Amino acid sequence: PLKKYFLGQETPPNKRVTTCQKCIRTPDIENVGKTARHGTYFEMLGNFSFGDYFKKESTRWAWEFITEVLKMPVDRLWVSIYEEDDEAFDIWVNEVGVAPERIVRMGKEDNFWEIGSGPCGPCSEIYFDRGEEYGCGKPDCGVGCECDRYVEFWNLVFSQFDSDGEGHYSRMEHANIDTGMGLERLACIMQGVDNLFEVDTVKNILNHVSRIANQPYKADEKKDVSIRVITDHIRSTTFMIADGVMPSNEGRGYVLRRLLRRAARHGKLLGIDRPFLYEVVDTVIGENEVAYPELREKESYIKKLIRVEEENFARTIDKGMELLADMLSGMKEGDALSGEAAFRLYDTFGFPIDLTREIVAERGVGLDEAAFNRLMEEQRSRAREARNRGEIIGWTDHALDFLGQGSTSFVGYDTLVHDGKVLGILKDGEEAPAAAAGDEVTVVLDVTPFYAESGGQAADAGMLTGPEGRVKITDCKKDRTGYFLHTGVVESGAVTAGDTVKAEVDSVRRRATMRNHTAAHLLQAALRKTLGDHVHQAGQLVNSERMRFDFSHFEAVTPNQLAEIENEVNRVVLEAVPVAVYETDLPTAQKEGAMALFSEKYGDIVRVCKIGDESMELCGGTHVHNTAELGLFKIVSESSVAAGVRRIEAVTGGGVLKLLHETEQTLREAAAAAKATPAELAGKIRAQAAELKDLQHKLAAHTAADVAAQAESIVKAAVPVGSVRAAGAKLPDLEPNALRQMGDLLRDKYPDLVAVICSQANGKCSMLCVCGKDAVAAGAHAGNIVREVAALAGGRGGGRPDSAMAGIPDPAKLGDALAELVPVVTKVIGG
Ligand code: ATP
Ligand code: MG
């Protein structure tokens, strides 16, 4: 963050600065948990001089701080310098008083700082000897050894040269100082603990992990590595999310995703079979909230985001792990997993290659990464080709050949009508000298006011009018070399290569599109204001009808928030804020605070769209001149697109009017249908609903009364058989379910009754026999009775003693069958 001061692009707030900075460093990731001194997250303390004090002061003060303030024993301290930096040697020995044998000279790789061109210089590092017990025991173990005995904890960088990036160094007039001291490494030394993760403020996180894993720390070295990896990764990811990083498949979002996945996998290695990382966030926040209160503010957001990642990953990993285990099962140490296998895991299961790499390494198996990379590259180029094919309708390389290298110059930011020369015509995928009425064509012009689809803004439509005819343009795309491809139909006459045509953009449509594009910028600003700085554009589509804006945010935007966002955008609309669009270079734009898309690659010259103090974004699209042109802004919907990505659709200007008209129309139709005025509509609907409910109650009561009456008439006709009564009846048009309900009623209400009731509905005839409690006690059995009675009408059935059903294929014989009921019941009871 301070580079701009070193480069002189900006004036620092002070010539002397001290900092404490959060750092994420992943080149050390393989070491994390294994060495005592590496984390992916740490806090770096630094002191800086921008052309103020230099080598002598920084060296003396560093020594004073560690020996007099921190009181580190001098006999444990070592110093390294760049091999050619005699000046540093002289200062350490003669000014500071360090014993010459404690100073080690090292090469450019270790002790010279440079990144490309610009300020650079030698550095000098201070080491603490933690004692022989931490050493590797090799005879040449010493400062610079990869083991954990000599720990570098402070690096003093003397940026005294300006490099041209090609090996030429010139001494700078105002040399700078840039130092970095890892807070965790320092604490580790001062507290005399074994590693970074046992430092007091980190240890509680480690303990939390070990509790969840039910795995005591320091019982099993391999498990300890996993516990430390999780401890580290949950710290880094918590801070990254709090700082606005979202998991994704590229850039820093991928760094975050990878760390979370790695931590989740180490959880699995510890036998944890559920999402758990989000729980550990509690302890991370508890240990850090005093210095970083924003962690507590974003607590629920951080936890939710981590939890969703864990759950998604669990699904991926389970499938992938199983498959990988299969692939590895037949292999022995020294074998290598094929690139095809690794690619299949990646391609079909989304199983990350880093994970495959780590797992095979743990098994002592190799991995054919060259083959994997080749397959990845092939896939990428396939995707690229498909994209090109899809994007450029009917355009082929052949067509590009005849045009050669070149491009169309776009004048549509400033004008909507312009003359252009027809450079080429494409018809049916072939170059054509001319096209006539009815032909579908693609026309390339040297100059055009037509906006070609890009950055989410839809293409312009309009008309090309030449000396001999007109082409109605419905789409416009940019090809790889920069030609604008206008696609449409020749409406009348003909168009010939070489013609000069008047290219005219449909201005109503374009202006509507511009309104929606400017609205998208205002929406993003309002979202960040209302929901927080984690909101970033994740995709957008603006055309003349509406705007669709996707953004990173974790939960549904509430109706209240939506109202607030809508009001905020409309405030800016109604304040009639001027919109300035201008070109500048990227560093200047960034310095001024323009928002850029993280994944986007920008050229040296960028376009900035600045809406007063409300919004500032890099943007190649077209915009209105004043926010008042939007008329009004109305959100139409809010929804989810993917985990952590929400979508808002909205309209402006004529779109709002159209929406109003539609709503009005719907309301009018509803009112007409309800025979009310719009104002009476709600009351009328409430009254009708109440009335309907009342009628339903009444109907139900009537039905119940009907059924009861029917049941009574069945019982009236019952014939006594011993201690029970038997009744048979044919009932009209009852579905089997209604028949069963009737049966239940008879059985429950008349305990001594044996009833056989039949009914025909939908062409199917069913017979049901029910026996009341006392009837069953007297020996009646519905299953047996229905079997015999149904058999008389050609049917089959059976069931429980109190209720049984049969199908009757021959309803004509029902009467005869029911006539036999009394003898059958007599027989069943008697038997
Ligand atoms: P090493 O060689 O031990 O990895 P380094 O040379 O990469 O260290 P620098 O880039 O000089 O370290 O960083 C400055 C200081 O930041 C170091 O002296 C150390 O205190 C701290 N530091 C660097 N990397 C890490 C890390 N991965 N974890 C914790 N602290 C670190
Ligand atoms: Mg390092």
pLDDT digit string, tens, across residues 112-124: 998 878 889 999 9
Say if residue 116 is exposed, middle or buried (CB neighbours under 10 Å; 0-12, 13-18, 19+): exposed
Q: Are 179 and 62 in contact (CB under 8 A)?
A: yes
Question: Which ligand number lies closest to the CA of residue 154?
Answer: 1
Return the closest-CA partner of residue 125 out of 149, 155, 146, 103: 155
What's the pLDDT tens digit per position in 137-183? Answer: 999 999 989 999 999 999 999 999 988 888 889 888 889 999 999 99
Instruction: Report how far residue 809's alpha carbon sits from residue 807's, in angstroms, rounded to the nearest whole number.
Output: 6
Answer left, alpha or beta for residue 66, where phi above 0 means left and psi between -120 and 50 means alpha: alpha
Q: Are 758 and 727 in contact (CB under 8 A)?
A: no
Q: Are 250 and 203 in contact (CB under 8 A)?
A: no
Residue 396 DSSP symbol: -
Distance 243 CA to ligand 1 centre (A): 22
For β-strands 764-771 and 77-82, DSSP reports them as: unpaired
Q: Give the model's pLDDT for residue 166.
A: 86
Q: Which residues contact 706 (CB under 8 A, 6 or more apart)?
A: none
Instruction: Report how far residue 491's alpha carbon sits from residue 486's, in angstroms, rounded to the nearest whole number.
Output: 14
Q: Give the model's pLDDT for residue 577.
A: 97
Q: Give the model's pLDDT for residue 818.
A: 92
Q: Are 547 and 649 in contact (CB under 8 A)?
A: yes
Provide the β-strand partners of residue 585.
605
Provide the β-strand partners of residue 475.
487
Q: Which residue owns the Cα nearest ligand 1 atom 22?
A: 182
Provide the β-strand partners of residue 635.
650
Distance 113 CA to ligand 2 centre (A): 13
Q: Is 197 in the pocket of ligand 1 (CB under 6 A)?
A: no
Q: Which residue owns the Cα nearest ligand 1 atom 31?
A: 182
Distance 781 CA to ligand 1 centre (A): 88
Q: Give the model's pLDDT for residue 321.
A: 82
- For the record, the structure tokens of 361 come out as 């390494």
Question: Which ligand number lies closest to the CA of residue 41?
Answer: 1
Distance 182 CA to ligand 1 centre (A): 6
Distance 472 CA to ligand 2 centre (A): 62
Q: Which residues contact 560 (CB under 8 A, 6 or more apart)?
A: none
Ligand 1, residue 183: give the atom nearest the CA. 20
Instruction: Report how far residue 204's alpha carbon sits from residue 458's, in angstroms, rounded to the nearest whole number.
Output: 53
Q: Is 38 in the pocket of ligand 1 (CB under 6 A)?
A: yes
| Torsion angle of the four alpha carbons 411, 414, 419, 422, in this order, in degrees rounded to the nearest 10 | 20
- How much is the pTM? 0.55
Q: Is 33 in the pocket of ligand 1 (CB under 6 A)?
A: no
Ligand 1, residue 39: give the atom nearest the CA. 28
Q: Give the model's pLDDT for residue 804.
A: 94
How many CA atoms lie within 13 Å of 672's alpha carbon, on the beta-carbon side? 6
Question: Which ligand number lies closest to the CA of residue 155?
Answer: 1
Q: Is 568 in the pocket of ligand 1 (CB under 6 A)?
A: no
Question: Which residues of the chain fall below pLDDT 70?
Answer: 249, 348-350, 382-402, 404-405, 598-601, 831
Question: Which ligand number lies closest to the CA of residue 31?
Answer: 1
Instruction: Report how far residue 500's alpha carbon sits from residue 506's, in angstroms, rounded to the nearest whole number.
Output: 19
* E strand or H helix that includes residue 127: strand 118-129
Return the closest-CA partner of residue 493 out of 468, 512, 474, 513: 468
Q: Which residue owns the Cα nearest ligand 1 atom 2?
A: 152
Question: Which ligand number lies closest to the CA of residue 22?
Answer: 1
Ligand 1, residue 31: give the atom nearest the CA. 27
Distance 258 CA to ligand 1 centre (A): 21
